[in-house]
């Protein structure tokens, strides 16, 4: 029996040692990257890190300085954009203002001389849930609706790969969140490869199966969103993908399945596998943990903290109630300020600034990083 696999595709994207220099400036250092067919892939990074340049080299809009681009098993490096099985959705959508929505979506088919477009156009409008808007002009639609027209117009050409360059950048936050889920739904439905460029970590994590975090023209780390979040390999990735507590610590025991560290007089443990750098006794590493993994106990209740937890004593400095959670800034002597997020279930405002606390968390929720990195 066959399961209902999505339509398409041979849409693998393979970049071999691809790079781009402008004069003496290297925007993208030689990069090897394989994006499997049918995946939702995000290139994530701050402004200027080279993500758009990488996307444009896949599209054929930018000529690589070195290296090759392979699409669906074919070397397309020398092919112009229109001969590649890709379509790009840009941030400004680039819809035709004088054509209605129907004709905007039909455009790619008409240009190829296809006469009977009705069925395909209607299918596409259904896919993006804009059937009833077919006869409107782009300016009569909201930003999110225009965005969906742009996606429909690109998908009607049946590309193997859809490239999206900050496609939600012009939308307000709430609409952005809606469109993220919408694009994810569309991608799952059509099953082709989406390559999405964004500087918004939440957006990349919401939509993509695999995220490449770029920094200074290089991919610093590649992986599933949860993998990158739980196991960042560098301080840049740790900080770019959310708030992290990074503590300088000294290795006191190494060699087994568990590392033992000391920081600010406290003993911290973590699985050796979760340390991205070889750690030897006497050396420094950075110990990191996410704010939501930590629990705050009142100093008087410290006896109830489970055995084996990492723990540090401190004092609440700031407590901010933000609805679903309360975010604390805690001062730990000899270490500094740490962030703790607690879900607001069952406790309201028990901890106030000035309260003496012990923060504790499971050793498995600790990661280790090379200490010779700048703390961003």
Which residues form the interface with ligand ATP (CB under 6 A)?
Answer: 22, 25, 27, 45, 47-53, 199
For ligand ATP, give the closer residue by CB, 84 or 199: 199
3-state secondary structure of 294: coil
For ligand ATP, give the closer residue by CB, 156 or 204: 204
- Closest residue to ligand ATP, judged by C-beta, is 52
For ligand ATP, give the closer residue by CB, 24 or 374: 24
Read off the tokens for 365.
């929720």
- Cβ atoms of residues 29 and 218 within 8 Å: yes
Query: Could you give the CA distance from residue 162 to residue 49 in angstroms, rounded to a whole number?
Result: 21
For ligand ATP, give the closer residue by CB, 5 or 24: 24
Query: What's the closest the beta carbon of residue 44 comes to ligand ATP, in angstroms?
Result: 10
- Cβ atoms of residues 204 and 36 within 8 Å: no
Query: What's the closest the beta carbon of residue 210 comes to ligand ATP, in angstroms?
Result: 18
Query: What's the closest the beta carbon of residue 155 comes to ligand ATP, in angstroms?
Result: 23
CA distances from 319 to 63, 242, 347 (A): 52, 19, 13
Query: Could you give the CA distance from residue 33 to residue 8 in angstroms, rounded to a whole number?
Result: 21
For ligand ATP, give the closer residue by CB, 199 or 274: 199
For ligand ATP, give the closer residue by CB, 31 or 124: 31
Query: What's the closest the beta carbon of residue 56 comes to ligand ATP, in angstroms?
Result: 7
Closest C-alpha among 314, 304, 290, 303 to residue 362: 290
For ligand ATP, give the closer residue by CB, 51 or 274: 51
Query: Could you give the CA distance from residue 233 to residue 287 in angstroms, rounded to a whole number?
Result: 12
Query: What's the closest the beta carbon of residue 43 comes to ligand ATP, in angstroms?
Result: 8
Query: What's the closest the beta carbon of residue 279 comes to ligand ATP, in angstroms?
Result: 33
User: Residue 81: CB partners within 8 Å, gap ≥ 6?
Assistant: 59, 60, 61, 88
Q: Residues 31, 32, 37, 38: is their CA dihedral positive or negative? A: negative
Query: Could you give the CA distance from residue 30 to residue 243 in angstroms, rounded to a whole number?
Result: 30
Query: What's the closest the beta carbon of residue 66 comes to ligand ATP, in angstroms?
Result: 16
């Amino acid at each position: 029996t066959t399961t209902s696999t999505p339509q398409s595709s041979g849409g693998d994207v393979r970049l071999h040692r691809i790079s781009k220099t402008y004069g003496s400036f290297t925007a993208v250092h030689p990069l090897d990257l394989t994006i499997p067919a049918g995946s939702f892939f995000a290139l994530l990074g701050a402004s200027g890190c080279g993500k758009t340049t990488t996307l444009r080299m896949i599209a054929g809009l930018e000529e690589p300085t070195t290296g090759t681009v392979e699409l669906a098993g074919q070397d397309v490096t020398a092919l112009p954009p229109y001969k590649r099985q890709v379509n790009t959705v840009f941030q400004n959508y680039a819809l035709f203002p004088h054509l209605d929505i129907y004709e905007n979506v039909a455009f790619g088919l008409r240009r190829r001389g296809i006469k009977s477009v009705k069925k395909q156009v209607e299918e596409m409008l259904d896919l993006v849930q804009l059937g009833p808007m077919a006869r409107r002009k782009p300016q009569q639609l909201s930003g999110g609706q225009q965005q969906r027209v742009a996606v429909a117009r690109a998908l009607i050409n049946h590309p193997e790969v859809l490239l999206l360059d900050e496609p939600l950048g012009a939308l307000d936050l709430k609409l952005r969140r809606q469109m993220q889920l919408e694009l994810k739904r569309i991608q799952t439905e059509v099953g082709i490869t989406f390559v999405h460029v964004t500087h918004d970590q939440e957006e990349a994590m919401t939509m993509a199966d695999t995220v490449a975090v770029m920094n200074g023209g290089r991919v610093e780390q590649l992986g599933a969103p949860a993998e990158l979040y739980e196991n960042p390999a560098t301080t840049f990735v740790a900080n770019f993908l959310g708030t992290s507590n990074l503590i300088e610590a000294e290795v006191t025991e190494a060699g087994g399945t568990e590392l033992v560290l000391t920081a600010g007089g406290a003993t911290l443990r973590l699985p050796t596998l979760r340390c991205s750098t070889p750690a030897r006794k006497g050396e420094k590493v950075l110990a990191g943990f996410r704010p939501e993994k930590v629990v705050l106990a009142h100093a008087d209740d410290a006896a109830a903290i489970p055995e084996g937890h990492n723990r540090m004593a401190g004092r609440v400095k700031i407590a901010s109630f933000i609805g679903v959670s309360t975010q604390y800034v805690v001062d730990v002597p000899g270490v500094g300020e740490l962030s703790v997020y607690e879900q607001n279930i069952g406790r309201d405002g028990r901890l106030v600034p000035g309260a003496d606390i012990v923060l504790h968390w499971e050793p498995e929720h600790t990661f280790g990083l090379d200490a010779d990195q700048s703390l961003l």
